[in-house]
Chains A and B, each alone.
Chain A
Amino acid sequence: MTTTITEMPTAGYGAALWRGLKSFALLRESWVGMLGAFLVLFWVLVAILAPLLAPFDPNSSIQPFAKPGMEAIKGGGTFWLGTDHIGRDILSRIIWGSRTVLIYAPLATISAYTLGILMGLAAGYRGGWVDDVLSRIADIILSFPVLVLYIIIIATIGASGFNIIIAITFASSPGIMRIVRGLVLDLRNRDYVAAAQTRGESDWRVMLVEILPNARGPLIVDACLRLGYVIITIGVLGFLGLGLPPPDPDWGGMVNETRQMAMAFPHMTLFPCIAISSLILGFNLLADGLREISLRD
Chain B
Amino acid sequence: MVTLVVKRIGFMIFTMIVVSLILFLLLETELTGDPAARVLGQFSNEEQREIWREQHGYNQPVALRYVKWLGNFAIGNLGESIRFKGPVADVMLPRLWNTAILGFWTFAIMIPLSLILGVLSGMKEGSKLDRTISVFGILTTSIPEFASAVIFSAIFVFGLKWLPGTSSMSGGFEFKQLIMPAMVLIVYDFGYVARMTRASMAEVMTSQYVRTAILKGLPYRSVIVKHALRNALIAPFTVIMLQINWLLSGVIVVEFFFAYKGFGALILEASLNNDIALLEACAMVAVCVAVTTQTLADIGYTFLNPRIRFS
Q: Which residue numbers of A lie inside 8 Å of B, CB to CB? A: 32, 139-140, 143-148, 151-157, 228, 232, 235-236, 239-242, 252, 255, 259, 262-263, 266, 269-270, 273-274, 276-277, 280-281, 284-285, 288
**Do B147 and A145 touch (CB < 8 A)?**
no
Chain B residue, CB-CB nearest to A153: B26
26 residue pairs bridging A and B, Cβ less than 8 Å apart: A143-B291, A144-B290, A146-B245, A146-B249, A147-B249, A147-B250, A148-B249, A148-B283, A152-B279, A155-B272, A155-B274, A156-B27, A228-B142, A232-B144, A235-B147, A236-B144, A236-B146, A236-B253, A240-B268, A259-B257, A262-B153, A276-B147, A277-B143, A277-B144, A277-B147, A284-B142
Q: Once bound together, how far apart are the Cα atoms of A284 and B136, in whole Å? A: 12
Selected contact of B144 from candidates A32, A151, A235, A285, CB within 8 Å: A235
**Do A144 and B19 touch (CB < 8 A)?**
yes
Q: Once bound together, how far apart are the Cα atoms of A140 and B252, in whole Å? A: 21
**Do A288 and B138 touch (CB < 8 A)?**
yes
In the complex, whether B271 has a CB less than 8 A from a CB of chain A is: yes
Most buried by A among B19, B27, B147, B267: B147
Residues in A whose Cβ lies below 8 Å from that of B134: 288
Q: Once bound together, how far apart are the Cα atoms of A271 and B86, in whole Å? A: 41
Q: Which of B260-308 contact A (CB under 8 A)?
A: 267-268, 271-272, 274, 279, 282-283, 286-287, 290-291, 294
Residues in A whose Cβ lies below 8 Å from that of B144: 232, 235-236, 239, 276-277, 280
Q: Once bound together, how far apart are the Cα atoms of A135 and B199, in whole Å? A: 26
**Do B154 and A280 touch (CB < 8 A)?**
no
Selected contact of A152 from candidates B11, B138, B271, CB within 8 Å: B271
Q: Once bound together, how far apart are the Cα atoms of A290 and B138, in whole Å? A: 14
Chain A residue, CB-CB nearest to B195: A288
**Do B19 and A140 touch (CB < 8 A)?**
yes
Count A-B pairs with CB separation below 8 Å. 126
Least CB distance, A141 to chain B, in whole angstroms: 9
Q: Once bound together, how far apart are the Cα atoms of A145 and B292, in whole Å? A: 12
Q: Once bound together, how far apart are the Cα atoms of A145 and B290, in whole Å? A: 7
In the complex, whether B139 has a CB less than 8 A from a CB of chain A is: yes
Most buried by B among A143, A269, A274: A143
Most buried by B among A239, A280, A284: A239
Q: Given that A157-B32, A235-B146, A259-B257 are contacting pairs, would A148 and B158 also be in contact in the complex, using a CB cutoff of 8 Å?
A: no
Least CB distance, B145 to chain A, in whole angstroms: 7
**Do B257 and A280 touch (CB < 8 A)?**
no
Residues in A whose Cβ lies below 8 Å from that of B274: 155
**Do B245 and A145 touch (CB < 8 A)?**
yes
Least CB distance, A28 to chain B, in whole angstroms: 18
In the complex, whether B64 has a CB less than 8 A from a CB of chain A is: no
Q: Once bound together, how far apart are the Cα atoms of A266 and B156, in whole Å? A: 12
Least CB distance, B138 to chain A, in whole angstroms: 5
Q: Once bound together, how far apart are the Cα atoms of A277 and B154, in whole Å? A: 16
Selected contact of B154 from candidates A148, A152, A155, A262, CB within 8 Å: A262
**Do A148 and B138 touch (CB < 8 A)?**
no
Q: Once bound together, how far apart are the Cα atoms of A52 and B253, in whole Å? A: 35
Residues in B whose Cβ lies below 8 Å from that of A262: 150, 153-154, 158
**Do A156 and B26 touch (CB < 8 A)?**
yes
**Do A281 and B26 touch (CB < 8 A)?**
no
Q: Which 4 A-B pairs have the closest CB atoms?
A: A147-B249, A273-B147, A145-B248, A281-B142
Known: A143-B287, A240-B256, A277-B143. 13 other contacts (CB 8 A): A32-B135, A139-B15, A147-B248, A147-B250, A156-B33, A255-B150, A262-B153, A263-B158, A266-B158, A270-B154, A273-B150, A281-B142, A284-B141
Q: Once bound together, how far apart are the Cα atoms of A269 and B154, in whole Å? A: 9
